[in-house]
Every structure is written in C-alpha cells, then in structure tokens.
Amino acid sequence: VESIKEFCQNHPLNQWLFNNKNNADSDEEQTQNSDSFKQLWTGMGVFKHSYTQSIRYSDDIESVTDSIISRLLTRTSDSPLIIFVCGAKDSGKSTYLRYLINKCLSRTSDSLKITFLDSDIGQSEFTPSGCISLITDLHQPLFGPSASHLTKPLKSFYFGDIKVENDKLVQYLNYIKYLYDFIQHRQQDLLVVNTMGWGSDSGLVIMKELIDLIKPHILIQLRSSNPHFRHTMPDLDSQWTLSAPISESYRQINHIPLNFSYNHYEYHLLLTPVRQHSHGKSNLTRQACLWSYFCQLENKHFLLKPLIDYVNQIQVFSFDKIGIGLLHRQIQPKYFLQVLNGSMIGLCRVKSDMLYHTSHSYPALIDERANLECFGFGFVRSIDMNRREIHVIIPDQTLPKSMVNALVKGLDDCPDEFYFMSIDRWRGQMPPYVTGIINSTV
C-alpha cells in the first residue's frame, strides 16, 4: 500500500493513473516505473506488474462510460445526473461501479459532488453488509474491493439481512425511499444507484419500484458475456417497465398510483468479461468488510489483537437507556440478552414510541415496525445482570454514542475468529461467550 501511495505521488493522476490513452508509448512508459506498477485497465487504478491477470472492458463499455461523463460535464440543470446500475448476481456490478466512479473523478473537477445510494444489502460497497446507505463526497479513487474503502455514510438504515423476504419487502423499499427523499435537499452532481443482483420474483418487484421512485436518466444493465452463465435477469428496458410486477402494499402506503410507471430513461445492456461464478466469494467479501471495520480498533499495529484486549474502546449502555432487538428471527424476548451476548450488533436510533418495556429489570424491546437508523457497529463484550449494563466494543470512536438508543442484532456472518482469537491460551481462560473448542476433525 505504501509503495502504491509513493508511486501515485510521483505520477500525478492527470498524467498517468487514469490516463485513457492506450498506445504503445504509454505502455512502454508504464513498464519503466521502478515500483513495477501498471495500469489495471483503461481509466482504472494500478496493479503490480508481476500479476498475470487483469480486466479489460470492451469498446462498448468504454464508449457508454465516456458518454456518461460527457453528459455529466455538459449538463445545464441543477438536478443531478442519475445513473442506475443493475444486473444479475456476479455480473460485474461492483467492478463497473468502481470503474465508473474512478473515470468520473479523473475526467472532472475536484469540486464534483458524487453521491452513492447503495441498496445492495448482500454486498454493500462502502459499509458492512445488511445496510442501505447514502454515501457522499467521494473524492478518492477506489483501488480494491469493498473492504479497502469502507466509508462512513451520510445516512444509513440497518436492514440486518442479506436478502429480502416477502414480509420485509415494504420495509426495504421504504428505507430506500427515505434516503432518496433525504438527498433531495442536498446539492449533488451525480447520483449513482447500486442495486441487488436478484433477477427474479420479488427481485424484479424491487427493480420496478426503484426505477419508478428514483427515475434515472441512464440505466446500465450488466450481463456476463458467457451465454451459459447461471445467473440471469430480463432486459430492464423501457418496455419491460410497462408490464413489470409491482408491490401494491408499498404503493398504497406511500400513496403511489398503482398504474404509475416511469420509462423515460436511456437504456444500455453491457456485456462484461465475467466467465464463471465464484462459490463462497460473497461470504468472504462480507467477512472481509467486518474485519476492515473492526480494524479501526488498532491504530498502532497492523494486526488486530483479541477483542477482549480493547478495554479502552468499551462503551457501557445501561438497561434503562437502551432498547434491544433481533431481526429476522423468532425468539422469545426472555432469551434476547443471551443471544445478544458475544454478537456483532448495529448501533441504531429509533423513535421513542417504538420502544416498549416488559420488565423493570430488563432493557426495552424494539417494535418490529421501527425504522433503524444506523450509526455503526459494535461487538457485545459482556452483559452485567447485576449492574444492568451491556458492554459493547465500538471500533469507531467518532460515532455519536449519545444518539444510540437501540442495539440490534441481525443475521450478519460474524467471523469465527472474533470469538476464538480471544482465547487466553497461556492461562487457559475462555471468553465469556465461548464454552469450548470444537474439534473440526471429529
């Protein structure tokens, strides 16, 4: 990382890093740098020269992306240019989004205001998974996967799952609507919308409702050039929207006419060089984001210590001032604290009328209808029943702790190392949330 930074300082962005020229002279110049870095692909980042694989986009993708930038530079309206990016799972959405943002950064002025509306709860781009977030002020290029550029969102809601069940569809759409309405009051030049890769059933309902809500100027649909690719999605062109499925309950709640349909967008279907599905990649990406987020605990050493060692980052929440909740699971409230202990949680804020008490000796419970505005994440270190306190390790010390009144556990895949790295092997002590080691060979 340090060598990349040094290389970038010696080669200004406008001269090399996002140079769109693809001639022999530029190739020769790239191979002569002492750090052996080369351009990753046209208009995007760097990679170590010893690496053997890189991604090169087609002329169609480059042409469409250039037309987006041209339209951005020549727009006359104060309203933002809205780009809606969609595609089936593993179609290359994340890679293209980084490519698009990096090209915009390299071709426009530093004052460009880019806003990113992330509705992909399964593989969020700037936050741990399970969040629907609004990210603003993107001024730095995106060099790697999500874990390498986690960013504190302007506003975020915690959905707590990586998929949308039918009974949670309205809540998911409402969260996106809240964020979209919120951003209307802020100045912005470009709004990029990231979507889930769910290309069938309720996933198409979500796509339809998001298109009608956001009303994009340009819709980019990505698809693998491999005709046998396992994940598919129909063409979301202007004709598709006329007969696409809708959510009647969502529209009734938000007073949207059932026959309303928006189809005045420029549609582009782009084929990407994705050839095969990588099994387990999504789960590894989500866990890497959690590792990256909790690495904020460590500012002196490269390696993260066992979580129990970060005593200075523990925040104490009194039962009297906090509500607790579990998402997407049916568990009796009397077991909530046991489930919460030793878990990763969302640090949220809910309206006071969404909290209700069942016992004076127990924290308040969160109404399942509550909107969970999320400020960040923590790890429940312990629960003191005598003092009626919940001890939470919080990596982000800038988080507004006084605004947190709800601790919420979702279905996040917490890395196993979060538990077992805390075992004191010298003294034989176990962390309070681990009862033993499972022999994986049995």
User: Do 70 and 189 have their domain in common?
Assistant: yes
Domain count of the fold of the chain: 3
pLDDT of residue 32: 39
| Residue 25 clears pLDDT 60, i.e. is over it | no
The pLDDT mean for the chain works out to: 83
Q: Which residue range(s) make up the domain with 31?
A: 2-48
- Lowest model confidence (mean pLDDT) among 9-18, 125-134, 213-222: 9-18
Same domain, 165 and 269: yes
pLDDT of the residue at 302: 59
Which one of 281, 309, 339 terminates a domain? 281
What single DSSP character describes residue 175?
A: H
Co-location of 66 and 119 in the same domain? yes
CB 422 within 8 A of CB 342: no
Give the list of residues 6+ apart from residue 50 with CB closer than 8 angstroms, or none. Answer: 36
Residue 438 lies in a domain: no
Confidence of residue 194 (pLDDT cuts 50, 70, 90): very high
138/254 same-domain check: yes
* Total-model pTM: 0.84
Query: Can you read off the two tokens belonging to residue 237?
Result: 């062109």
Q: From CA 23, how far away is CA 42, in angstroms rounded? A: 11
Q: What is the rounded distance in angstroms from the CA atom of residue 121 to the CA atom of residue 195?
A: 9
SS (H, E, C) 292-321: HHHHHHCCCCCCCCCHHHCHHHEEEEEHHH
Does residue 164 lie in a domain region? yes
Summarize pLDDT for 51-69 with one digit per residue, the tens: 445 667 889 999 999 999 9
Tell whether the torsion through CA atoms of 206, 157, 322 and 417 is positive or negative.
positive
Is 80 exceeded by the pLDDT of residue 176?
Answer: yes
> In sequence order, which residues have a C-beta less than 8 Å from that of residue 239 and are 6 or more positions away?
263
